[in-house]
A and B are shown apart, each in its own frame.
Chain A
Amino acid sequence: MYSKKVLEHFTHPHNQGVIKNPSGVGMVGNPTCGDMMKIYIKVKKDVKKREVINDIKFETLGCASAIATSSMITDLAKNKTLEEASKITRNDVAEALEGLPPIKMHCSNLAADSLREAIKDYQKKKKQ
């Protein structure tokens, strides 16, 4: 039922872990539904002075597809500008994983939401 790509990212997730002193953190999900994701980002300015996701890590409690979508979104967002990263959709995540079972589509939504929350958190902190 899972694509090869999902299983790959599930068994060997990319960018799993924590960033110390992150620029922003986003957490979505709740223990009742069973899937919870936390995304850490480190933002730096590139040569063109654009804000770029320089490093990104995740922690996820959830099913195989929740872990795979977390891993995939970190791949998709890394080295992207904040503007580009915030445009990543659930479908982008699902497509990059060569599809998800319909019932698991909400997992890709969680991953995209989690990243957006992390970017929002960074922007909020910047204003303070």
Chain B
Amino acid sequence: MNKQVYLDHAATTPVDKKVLREMMPYFSDRYGNASSLHFFGQEASQAVEKARMQVAKYFNANLNEIIFTSGATESNNLAIKGVLRACYQKPPGGFLSHRVASKGASKPHIITTTFEHHCVLNTIKELEKENLIETTFINPKKDGVINVEDIKNAIKSNTILISVMYVNNEIGTVQPIAEIGKIIHETRNTKHETKSNGYPIFHTDATQAVAYFDCDVEKLGVDLLSMSAHKIYGPKGVGVLYIKKGLNIAKIQDGGAQEFGMRAGTINTSGIVGLGSAISMINDQRTTNNEKIKKLRDYLIAKILKEIPDSRLNGSKIKRSPNNVNVNFSRVEGESLLMMLSSEGVFASTGSACSSGSLSPSHVLLSLGLKPEETHGSLRLTLGKNTTKKEIDYVVKVIKRSVEKLRKVSGSVLKDYYKSMKHEA
């Protein structure tokens, strides 16, 4: 087998060995249902509550503000649909009281960005299709960062929710969450029709941010925050939704009373233990890991841009997650580059249309104002805490060789196309 280098940590991370060790007893030995009253149940429940403490500490939240879910997709669904549902069930102030769209009354308004993860974007689009909400989608600037003023200007008297991701999953750009939080707090009580009842609510999908950025919910000014364990060296299938105490939000799944009545379903003890263990490890290691990864990232960016002609970085170089590199190579298609790299043991990701299953180019890259043809040759490389300089050197060598090979296969086809277009015009 070839040498293998994994540079797709934004997709998922390996479960840390220490995390796995802490999880192990909760599969076959301490297998009790955390909701059971007997000893086995209580043993499991204690483990879950310990994890809740670890998570609450990380987010500077209270214990009863931490809801365990199956991952960020569920957390985001619960955040958005739960806020809307509560709004219809317990209408704030005089507004929206069971008035429905068909009567021409103002529907609840939700603001989000055009480059959110699909689990936020599609949730909101579905609600819009069902005629339950009005929406505003904010475009980032060319550098992949949202302008705070654009959010401010979009807020209307019927805005109930603003959802902005903390770090973009494709291009790694960091959004000014704390600044947006501040503006939302200023807007409350002044612009809002419902007056002093906590609207608009502020949600952030922090899935790609948790390992690298300050996620203190007080400092960020968020009411809801989503995350997933498998992005931070924890297991897949478990995540968190932070819900600020007293927030007007309803459950969206019916069943038992688990998780303070917010999330029915048997508690995933081993997963939650793993999440708690993974998040407490970040606290200890964040600063040193960040610096190390950031240094390697800058080395990787510089080396690619220097050694491979016609390459450019997508998204801001400065307001960027320490682990993310997203580069575009002209005259190369991303999926074929990905396949070529994979055949040489380098594992990365792309926003290329051909890999998406839908054959439409990455909505994130399009949101930066790139033309479809400018998005195709994009490659995402995301580093992890164990990535080494030697690996980076190997990866650049393989990318360079692969890009050269694919450019040779494409020959003059692109140039000829533009020439023929000019000729026809």
Contacts and interface: CB of A to CB of B under 8 A. Distances in A.
Interface of A: 2, 7, 10-11, 13, 16-18, 27, 30-38, 59-64, 66-67, 103-104, 106
B339 A34 contact: no
Contact of A7 (B331, B343, B354): B343
Nearest to A36: B413
Interface stretch (B98-106, B126-134, B404-412): B404-412
19 contacts: A7-B343, A13-B409, A16-B408, A18-B411, A31-B372, A32-B371, A32-B372, A33-B353, A33-B372, A34-B333, A35-B354, A36-B410, A59-B413, A60-B413, A61-B410, A61-B414, A63-B355, A64-B335, A103-B357
A63 B352 contact: yes
B121 to A, nearest CB: 21
Nearest to A70: B409
A37 B411 CA distance: 10
Interface in B94-144: none
Q: Bin the interface of chain B by size.
A: 20 to 34
A59 B410 CA distance: 5
A36 B340 contact: no
B417 A36 contact: yes
Given A27-B420, A103-B359, A32 B373 contact: yes
Contacts of A38: 411, 413, 416
B354 A31 contact: no
Contact of A66 (B331, B336, B357, B411): B336
B322 interface: no
B244 interface: no
Secondary structure dominating the interface of A:
mixed
* Most B C-beta atoms less than 10 A away, residue of A7, A13, A62: A62
A21 B407 CA distance: 22
Interface in B353-389: 353-355, 357, 359, 361, 371-373, 376
Contacts of B352: 34, 63
Contact of B414 (A18, A36, A67): A36
A17 B412 CA distance: 10
* 7 A-B pairs closest in CB distance: A59-B411, A63-B354, A31-B373, A61-B410, A63-B335, A34-B376, A64-B339
A61 B413 contact: yes
Contacts of B333: 34-35, 61-63, 66
